[in-house]
Amino acid sequence: MNSEDVKAVRELLSTKIEALEKLINYRLDLNDKALQIQHKEYERRLSALNGEAERLRQMQATYVSREVYEINHRELTSKLEALSNRSNIGEGKSRGISATWLVIVIIINFLIAIGGIIAALT
Determine, yes or no, domain membership for 76.
yes
Domain assignment present for residue 110? The answer is no
Q: Is 17 contained in some domain?
A: yes
What is residue 56's predicted lDDT score, i.e. its pLDDT?
86
Residue 47 within any structural domain of the chain: yes
Rounded distance between C-alpha atoms, residue 101 and residue 107, angstroms: 10
The amino acid at 111: L
Question: Which pLDDT value is given to residue 106?
Answer: 84
* Residue numbers of the chain with a pLDDT score lower than 70: 88, 90-94, 96
Spatial separation of the C-alpha atoms in residues 116 and 70, rounded to whole Å? 68
Residue 105 lies inside a defined structural domain of this protein: no
**Quick one: pLDDT at residue 14?**
93
- pLDDT given at position 90: 63
Residues 6+ apart with CB under 8 A from 64: 72
How many domains would you assign to the chain? 1
Hey, what long-range contacts does 104-111 have (CB within 8 A, 24 or more apart)? none
Q: Which domain holds residue 21?
A: 3-93
